Amino acid sequence: MVSSKGLSGSPPYVAAPVKQYGVTKPISMAGPTEADIQRSRDLEKFLAEAGLYERKEEAAKREEVLCRIQEIVTDWVKQLTRLRGYTDQIVEDANAVIFTFGSYRLGVHGPGSDIDTLCVGPSYVNREEDFFFILHNILAEREEVTELQPVPDAHVPVMKFKFDGIPIDLLYASISHLVVAQDLDISDMSVLCNVDEPTVRSLNGCRVADQILKLVPNIEHFRTTLRCLKFWAKRRGVYSNVTGFLGGVNWALLVARVCQLYPNAVPSMLVSRFFRVYTQWRWPNPVMLCAIEEDELGFSVWDPRKNPRDRTHHMPIITPAYPCMNSSYNVSTSTLRVMMEQFQYGNNICEKIELNKAKWSALFEPYLFFESYKNYLQVDIVAADADDLRAWKGWVESRLRQLTLMIERDTYGKLQCHPYPHEYVDASKPCAHCAFFMGLQRKEGEKIQEGQQFDIRGSVDEFRLSINMYMFWKPGMEIYVSHVRRKQLPAYVFPNGYKHPWNLRLTPCQQSDKLLHDNGVACQTESGAKCLKRKTDSNGENSEESRLEKRQSPTRSESVSPEIISCKLSSTSSGCSTSDLDEMNGLTEGNASYNSSNISSCSREDIGNESTAGSSEVSNGVDDNPASSQSDLCDDSKSSLEDEHADQNRVFQDRLLHELKPNTAIGVVRKSMNGVVDSETVQNPVISRLSLTSTA
């Protein structure tokens, strides 16, 4: 009788079952090649040289600060327990526990970054008076505490301050326990019993961070990849939840999902796959790390079948802890469009890196925001002193997203806004000051009638009225909204304090980046200096002089009334994006009686054809790829990439199509308490299938 081991004496090969992470099977179980491992080493070296890792001394200081905050909140709770007449035993046992979440809990924080902390206290210590009044006063009296700023009316109430120079965001959650155990398991569902919605949101930060670390295949690979992509997002101007882009938890969830799809990949592979997957993701299909759970506690979870508001979300990224929520509800059609362009940029660079035609530094080229548009909105924020400015700026910044939505609503989506999440300071002003900017362009592909104008004065006035509802307004707090053309931009927005000449020769990476915003305009020459094509009028005369006259604009007014545009547009354009007026259902109409804005008229060329400097040749037809307009500078490398990657991409797309079936990956998967999946929901997803073509 022949042994089951076979004639060779070795057992027959049996394929190990593929472990599933998340709601679908992995796309690929392939491990790294030697080249992938070397690229990962190069990436980690680049991140270290970029200063993304803190020194041991700073790490030790953070731990010391957390211990001191723990002592402060424990004494605070004991003091309140004694004042409220509890027994000596309860006073002795009284406690509050400090938890961390966000980048610090995930292990991806860097030098100078803040620590997101949560204080969990007993049921008799409340947020409104005890936390925001008594604890606030205790902190204010300490020398180590500076820049103390309570924000009680935020979606997640928070107290911001610096403790011995370390930025701290402190939340509070009062749970239904008389005594909070030092070893409290915050992931346990019992902590959510008998608490209000703000408390649930406060607790969820820690619960989500813990779940993410449990759901990724390799924590170290996840951390390196997330650290890389957060740095990339900040360099490319798409890191800001409050402005309508993505914040730390959003990026963590996106990276964690890619780690699930490629469980054996190393960081260099995961970065490349990140851009490859999300350039092909068909939003608003949700990104989920696990099934959406329901519980008898009755909190609302993300469900577009039941909740009409959930159907208006453009980029759902669902948190993995109960109650599951959309962490990216702030994303609008405009910010989604910008992020998709940046994903495409990242994908193009990663393809070059894999072909050894580019280095990692190319991926992190800063975004040329002030060279990407011809028209901008400038929002100046001033206050009497630095403390007032900190509070006033926080209020205005949290409402900037509403200005974007108001403009898109009032122009029916034909005028697109690109809010830039960086703030700029004019040091020459005598008062405390900062400014934010928004790029403006007409929607591509929109047929504009001759002489049509965009008058957004009503939108701006409505925005100003909403800003003036600030409950803690003080004299000196002012806001100015003005329209500026590219040549009018103030010098302080440029790194060296002066404007670069527009005919400056750009690197291939910068050229490719700028072409992402080339609104139907393509450069046809090798040099930016030679790229300007002179137009002639009907008599054949050179019209360059007349064009320059059209672009001349009056000096900005220094009055309180903002200069807002009422712009004439030409009749042709090309492009990609769509408007979504459902997003605006909750906004009120503009107040026509409150209209103090001056008008600055733009020429027909000012908005539309928002090409960057050095690009003037109008391309014919519409291309769904936002990066389709390429200069000769990039043509050779692009065609080479297409040839060498055609087969590889086809294999990937076939595999992605096969694995990411709509009724498992995209449908809203729900799980009951006994772990049974709701098969009806899985088989009938409410959201369309994942497409393998790049979204525009």
Residue 130 annotated as part of some ligand binding site: no
- Measured CA to CA, the distance from residue 480 to residue 465 in angstroms comes to 12
- The gap from C-alpha 25 to its chain's centroid, in whole angstroms, comes to 27
Residue 441's DSSP bridge partners are 416
Residue 482 annotated as part of some ligand binding site: no
632 tagged catalytic:
no
8 tagged catalytic:
no
CB 401 within 8 A of CB 240: no
- What's the token pair of residue 209? 């961070």
- The gap from C-alpha 548 to its chain's centroid, in whole angstroms, comes to 37
CB 241 within 8 A of CB 233: no
**Residue 171 host element (H or E):** strand 166-174
Residue 461 annotated as part of some ligand binding site: no
- Measured CA to CA, the distance from residue 350 to residue 7 in angstroms comes to 48
Residue 51 burial (C-beta neighbours within 10 Å; 0-12, 13-18, 19+): exposed
- Measured CA to CA, the distance from residue 294 to residue 672 in angstroms comes to 6
Query: What is the DSSP track for 63-97?
Result: HHHHHHHHHHHHHHHHHHHHHTT--HHHHHH---E
Indicate which residue of 130, 169, 210, 461 is catalytic: 169
CB atoms closer than 10 angstroms to residue 598? 14
CB 108 within 8 A of CB 227: yes
678 tagged catalytic:
no
Residue 530 annotated as part of some ligand binding site: no
Residue 53 annotated as part of some ligand binding site: no
- Measured CA to CA, the distance from residue 311 to residue 333 in angstroms comes to 14
What torsion do the CA atoms of 685, 686, 692, 696 make, to the nearest 10 degrees? -170
- Measured CA to CA, the distance from residue 40 to residue 429 in angstroms comes to 46
Indicate which residue of 160, 230, 352, 443 is catalytic: 230
Residue 295 annotated as part of some ligand binding site: no
Residue 102 annotated as part of some ligand binding site: yes
With a CB cutoff of 8 Å and minimum separation 6, the contacts of 137 are none
CB 540 within 8 A of CB 639: no
Residue 632 annotated as part of some ligand binding site: no
103 tagged catalytic:
yes
Residue 484 annotated as part of some ligand binding site: no
Q: Which residues of 487-514 are buried (b: 16+ CB within 10 A; e: fewer)?
A: eebbeebeeeeeeeeeeeebebbbbbbb
**Residue 481 host element (H or E):** strand 478-485
Residue 249 annotated as part of some ligand binding site: yes
Q: Taking the CA atoms of the chain, what radius of gyration do you get in angstroms?
A: 27
Indicate which residue of 36, 116, 130, 518 is catalytic: 116
- What's the token pair of residue 394? 């926080």
**Residue 333 host element (H or E):** helix 333-354
Residue 521 annotated as part of some ligand binding site: no
What torsion do the CA atoms of 648, 651, 652, 656 make, to the nearest 10 degrees? 170
Provide the residue type at 159 as one letter. Answer: M
Indicate which residue of 36, 86, 103, 597 is catalytic: 103
Closest by alpha carbon to 150, among 177, 174, 169, 124?
Answer: 169
With a CB cutoff of 8 Å and minimum separation 6, the contacts of 244 are 330, 331, 332, 334, 335, 401, 404, 419
Indicate which residue of 86, 239, 262, 278 is catalytic: 239
Q: Which residues sit in the known binding site for Mg(2+)?
A: 114, 116, 169
Residues marked as catalytic: 103, 114, 116, 169, 230, 239
Q: Which residues sit in the known binding site?
A: 101-103, 114-116, 169, 230, 239, 248-249
Q: Which residues sit in the known binding site for ATP?
A: 101-103, 114-116, 169, 230, 239, 248-249
